[in-house]
Structure 1
Amino acid sequence: MTMSISTGLVSGMDTGALVSQLMQVEAAPQAALKAKLTATQTAAGAFRTVNTALQALMTAAETALKPETWASAKGTSSAGSVTAATAPGATPGSLTFTVASVAATHSTVSTTRWGSTTTAANLSSIEVKSLDGTTSKGTIALNGTESLDQVAAKINGSSNLGLKAAVVQTGTDEFALQISAAVSGKAGTFSLAGTETFKATTVGQNAELKVGTTAAAYSVTSSTNVFQGVLAGTTITVTREETTPVTVSVVSDPDAITAKVSALVDAVNSALDTIKKQTNNTPGSTAALRGEYAVTQISGQLLEALSKAVGEDSPARIGFELTRDGKLAFTKDTFTAALKDNPALAQKLMVGTPEGKDADGNILAAVPGIAERLRGVAKATSDATTGTLNSLAKGQDSMARDIQDRIAAWDVRLAKRKAALTRQFTAMETALSSLQNQSTWLAGQLKSLPSS
């Protein structure tokens, strides 16, 4: 039941407004809690924003550490009709060949033409044989009542025969039955026997590459126009015959490596920018993590990972340089040149060197490279279970839940206080009304007394 507040008609006071003003004073601690809750939730979100940037950095660092990153290669071809696509780990090399043939799918068509595809085609069973007719592969059972559409459906439903059928229109009200191999290449060839005669429109054949011109020359065949494994990690695709020798080459692709290192640099600078924005401690800053040392120190760790020598070699040798505004500058041309001139050094600076032994058998400790050091910083701070940023965010979440519980408790407390104030002011108005009535009565009594 809601208690109404007296409007102060007797006292002349606006008791409703007075209660509201008193409740604002009473609710000051709760208002402070609400402000603290907002700040706590904002801080938790800011910790997670920084964490996301560092997770992206860790992913980029792990990519730079993968062996296949440093084995990046690209394929080139001397003919437009031949392409070479490389996979991670493709082995550099070259191959010269002619394209003797391209793959074809065996296909036949009936000699009979029908005027309808839905009336009985009067076809008896069709036996499927090898191309030379010596080996039977199976039979398509027909009784003469099936229409062309039904015959095609039966063939397509016999997956064990390896055939596909289609009804084709060859003229006005003229239809034929086309039967083709389900796969391309020589292995899909077939012949058909029965009352109906079928003639080949295309003879199935393999694609063939001829390598070399001497007695040691050899051929490579494929049932499709795609050749895999001729060069390790490379897929060669042909589209037409080529009698002129074609050379396919697989060469190192420094631009691809540079692109992945550049992506790591971008991830580092993005993380540094995010940290700076969230912890800005300049006068008037409203950053959610203003001056938060646990976060600002991450910037220092990242910059140290970038500037510290790897063994005796400086990161500057591969184009890394710290700027005055606390970011990383990366000169791609310097890195690409280093890759070409001394790829082992470029890889060592980024990846580091594993544990080993010197000439005397003494153990040499592993030396982490730039990417490994960056990955270490990112993992320590952003790991889902042990990362410091996740722990800080969860701590803020826990604090927010506690504040929410305290705010809810204040809701109950303030509701009771408002009810008490309302009762007090209502009682006051009631008492004043009673006194006013008594005063009016006494005044009337006095007027009724006889004058002396």
Structure 2
Amino acid sequence: MASGASVSGLGSGLDTASIIDQFMQLEAASQTRLKSRQTTEKAVLTALQSLNTKLSSLATKASDLGKPAAWNTVTATSSEAKVALTATSAAGPGAFAVRVDQTAATHRLELASTVGMSTAGTVPTSVRLDRLDGSTPLDLTTDGTLKGLVTAINDPANATGLRATAVKVGTDAYRLVVESSASGAEQDFTLAGTDGSDLLGGATVRAGRDAKVTVGDTVVATSTSNTFNDLVPGVTLTLAADTPVGTTSQVSLTRDATTATSTLKGLVDAINSVIADIDTQTKVSGTGTRGALAGDGTVLSVRDRLLGSVFPGNGTSLADLGVQTDRYGKLVLDEAKFTKAYAADPTAVQNRLTAAGSGFVTKVADAAKRASDRVDGTLTSSITGRTTSIKRLDDDISAWDLRLELRRTALTRQFSAMETALNQMNSQSSWLSGQISSLPSGS
């Protein structure tokens, strides 16, 4: 703190400002200890918060992997490039043949007459659209030109469900093509005058159609588009629009052991990252240097529970699946061993990983959640306690600031009064000396 106003050394010749500063250093010793303790508490709090964030992330990851769908990884392959497949976790292993009987198509009209784009009177001022589905026909208002009819059909406000295109075939000569926005056999429609007369010389029609495939020898499936959702559970098949009729694809659905291994490795790596963080923060070196969380029993118990997750609790381990601890207290995964075990019996492996109460993934999720739960997690409680302690130290340090300020003011006043008194005494002494020296000397 800055020193208050004083008359340092005015009468005594002493550096009273420095003397006051030294007194204040002694007075502030208690506050200095509080600040040192606060610094330590903040370091602990930062370490706890960082660790808690990692554990929360680990809990989420493990919880997601505890769901059976996370391990039902199936790879779908097709022998034909124009027959594409995707598989979800609902798919199971299998194999079958798919023959393409027809692809889906939109319903399309190609009008016969060639007319100018803006020539008046080439189309009726009112054109009737009938969707042939029992709904009320829609009458479209035009300005009597081809351009006006195209605009009316494509206007979103009319909600025709059609696309109209004027195709240029010569100098200011156009033919109208209209097709449904969606494919499928039920997308058929007609365009005519409101009196039923042909529009623009009548139309060549390409009827809309559904896509159709045969699965195996006799099972026929249809779709209004070229995509067959859940053709079999969890499998979507999509045909290229130009797939030739009769194309036959051999479909294979196989368990993906590689993805399952990668998934488990990601969890093991996440656990080891948390353990490494704990080891760093709780380390005590030979020179006496201590991590911020050294000796914290709560943190060390979290480490023990994470490592203990590889033991189901029935006297067995996961060593035969390639999951175990090494001599350094970290988890290791023998990827080749796990891949082999998963390929041999994926269901059994999945059960050992996700079984309630005893599964490796389940136990990891429980250990991480017990520590990081935002309401009653063990680390969460420690963080709350440290935060409260730091707030209390803040208040104590602030109280000491006021106390020291008052003490400095008092010392400054005392030394200033002393200097003033000494200065007055020195002045009187000088005056008396002058008076004495001015007296006549005796003969």
Tell me the TM-score normalized by structure 2.
0.86
Q: Could you tell me whether the CA contact under 8 Å between 2:107 and 2:188 is conserved in 1?
A: yes
Distance in 1 (CA, whole Å) between partners of 2:62 and 2:343 is 22
Using the aligned pairs only, state the percent identity.
33
Distance in 1 (CA, whole Å) between partners of 2:211 and 2:280 is 60
Q: How many residues align?
A: 431
Partner in structure 1 of residue 78 of structure 2: 77
Q: Could you tell me whether the CA contact under 8 Å between 1:381 and 1:389 is conserved in 2?
A: yes
Displacement of 1:13:
2.6
Matches within 5 A, 1:169-184: 179-184=178-183
Distance in 2 (CA, whole Å) between partners of 1:173 and 1:14 is 105
Could you tell me which amino acid in structure 2 is paired with residue 208 of structure 1?
A: K
Q: Could you tell me whether the CA contact under 8 Å between 1:72 and 1:256 is conserved in 2?
A: yes
Matches within 5 A, 1:112-127: 112-114=114-116, 124-127=125-128
Q: Could you tell me whether the CA contact under 8 Å between 2:63 and 2:365 is conserved in 1?
A: yes
Partner in structure 2 of residue 375 of structure 1: 365
5+ long unaligned stretches in structure 2: none
Displacement of 1:333:
1.1
Larger mean CA deviation between 264-273 and 335-344 belongs to 335-344
Within the alignment, does 1:206 sit opposite 2:210 as a pair?
yes
Q: Could you tell me whether the CA contact under 8 Å between 1:156 and 1:164 is conserved in 2?
A: no
Q: Could you tell me whether the CA contact under 8 Å between 1:152 and 1:177 is conserved in 2?
A: no
Partner in structure 1 of residue 238 of structure 2: 237
Displacement of 1:40:
0.9
**Paired residue secondary structure (1:139):** strand
Partner in structure 2 of residue 330 of structure 1: 333
**Paired residue secondary structure (1:368):** coil
Displacement of 1:406:
0.4
Displacement of 1:441:
1.7
Could you tell me which amino acid in structure 2 is paired with residue 70 of structure 1?
A: W
Relative to structure 1, is the Cα distance of residues 124 and 116 closer, same or farther in structure 2, using a 3 angstrom cutoff? closer
Q: Could you tell me whether the CA contact under 8 Å between 2:114 and 2:173 is conserved in 1?
A: no
Partner in structure 2 of residue 222 of structure 1: 223
Partner in structure 1 of residue 400 of structure 2: 410
Q: Could you tell me whether the CA contact under 8 Å between 2:115 and 2:175 is conserved in 1?
A: yes
**Paired residue secondary structure (2:222):** strand
Displacement of 1:414:
1.1
Q: Could you tell me whether the CA contact under 8 Å between 2:110 and 2:203 is conserved in 1?
A: yes
Could you tell me which amino acid in structure 1 is paired with residue 391 of structure 2?
A: R
**Paired residue secondary structure (1:324):** coil
**RMSD of aligned residue pairs (Cα, Å):** 3.1
Distance in 2 (CA, whole Å) between partners of 1:316 and 1:134 is 68
Q: Could you tell me whether the CA contact under 8 Å between 2:180 and 2:187 is conserved in 1?
A: yes
Q: Could you tell me whether the CA contact under 8 Å between 2:153 and 2:160 is conserved in 1?
A: no
Displacement of 1:154:
6.8
Distance in 2 (CA, whole Å) between partners of 1:61 and 1:379 is 10
**Paired residue secondary structure (1:204):** coil
CA deviations on 1:65-109 (whole Å, 9 max, x unpaired) are 212133221211111111111112213333312223322334456
Distance in 2 (CA, whole Å) between partners of 1:64 and 1:158 is 48
Partner in structure 1 of residue 262 of structure 2: 259
Larger mean CA deviation between 380-389 and 182-191 belongs to 182-191
**Paired residue secondary structure (1:236):** strand
Distance in 2 (CA, whole Å) between partners of 1:177 and 1:5 is 101
Relative to structure 1, is the Cα distance of residues 289 and 173 closer, same or farther in structure 2, using a 3 angstrom cutoff? farther
Displacement of 1:236:
0.7
Q: Could you tell me whether the CA contact under 8 Å between 2:282 and 2:295 is conserved in 1?
A: yes
